[in-house]
Amino acid sequence: MDLNLNTEQKILKNSARDFLKKECPRDLFREMRESDEDYPKKLWKKMAELGWMGVGIPEAFDGMDGDFIDQTILLEAMAEACLPAPYFNTVIVAGTALQLSKTEALKKELLPKIADGKLVCSFALIDPNNSYGYSNIQTSAVKEGGDFVLTGTKLFVEYARSSDYLLTVAKTADQGLAVFMVESGSDGISMRHLETLDYSKQCAVTLDKVKVPAINLLAIGAEADKLLEDLELRGSVAKCAELLGGMQPAFDISVGYAKDREQFGVPIGTFQSIQHHCANMAVDLDSSRYITTLAAWKITQGQPAVKEAAMAKSYASAAASRVVKLGHQIHGAISYCDEHDMHLFLRRCRAASVAFGDSEYHLEKVAVELGL
């Protein structure tokens, strides 16, 4: 088992970081907070031209092939840059769901558009009065003739206003859960903007008797359960990659600050308390990277990875919180200013830590895998 990046992956990592450092300075994220646009479309087009949206999509669907580890490399680089773009929901969630489904017609129609950067998707999962998970879905799907009719409300739907499709989870009366690709412009869909901690563009999406053709059904019943399990597996580890992308720069700038900032005529990094803060950050960062890489490797190899993915998401979620808090401690009051980047990492890490299940959710999954 070799968890080191191969030559091609190292090139991808370095080129992605270099590209985003030039094209996506963190001030772009600050600008997008006030913009009417959900994401920088010119930058999205450039990313598509580099083939990033096609990573993980087979060549048969005009993709670049590649694997899940390649996708996590890109996600970490995007998180480091605080990139405000719908890559996760479009490529990781919707792209994976389409590939896992048996709807060949939709695959042929939509996957090439995703790979080309011409299609944006959102994930509509969480219902009101419900936390993350699939056990209490209230949005209903009723079969009427050759169509399904969806009714309900979904919260925290990222980039919904700009999406072409909503990957929507609903509950049927007699077959359990069902997963649909719902066209965002369908009659009966309305959206309301939500204010969020990490400034991401999210909406509450109301579906009022929205008709969805049966061809847009990706899975139902046991097949839907399996698809959602696989989505959670990949989605949780992909969020770990984003957490690494927040922890790494928070650690780097904190260590740099500890070396440069002087008090009483010496660098603050010579003080034992600051040294311990930096050491604790390093332990959390490297531990999170190891377990995330292990989980991503097992998923790429097609090996069982439920326990490793849950361990990674549980640990990295808690570790990210500790790392960014210690970063604030090292910097002091200056890190709370909007001009400083530290609060951006805190916001982004907090959002990623609760997405696809928080630390407690995944600790329970680890316990189940242990037979407890």
The whole-model pTM stands at 0.96
Question: Between β-strands 165-171 and 177-183, what pairing exists: parallel, antiparallel or unpaired?
Answer: antiparallel
In this prediction, residue 304 carries a pLDDT of: 96
Label residue 254 left, alpha or beta by phi (over 0 means left) and psi (-120 to 50 means alpha). Answer: alpha
∠ CA 285-288-294 to the nearest 5 degrees?
140
Mean pLDDT of 328-350: 95
Helices 68-80 and 7-23: angle between axes, nearest 10 degrees = 30
* 265-310 pLDDT per residue, tens: 999 999 999 999 999 999 999 999 999 999 999 999 999 999 999 9
Tokens of 271: 């003080």
336 vs 130, higher pLDDT = 336
Does 55 have pLDDT greater than 80? yes
Q: What is the mean pLDDT of the chain?
A: 96
In this prediction, residue 34 carries a pLDDT of: 87
The C-alpha atoms of residue 132 and residue 130 are separated, in whole angstroms, by: 7
Domains and CATH numbers, the chain: 7-118 (1.10.540.10), 122-220 (2.40.110.10), 224-369 (1.20.140.10)
Mean pLDDT of 238-261: 98
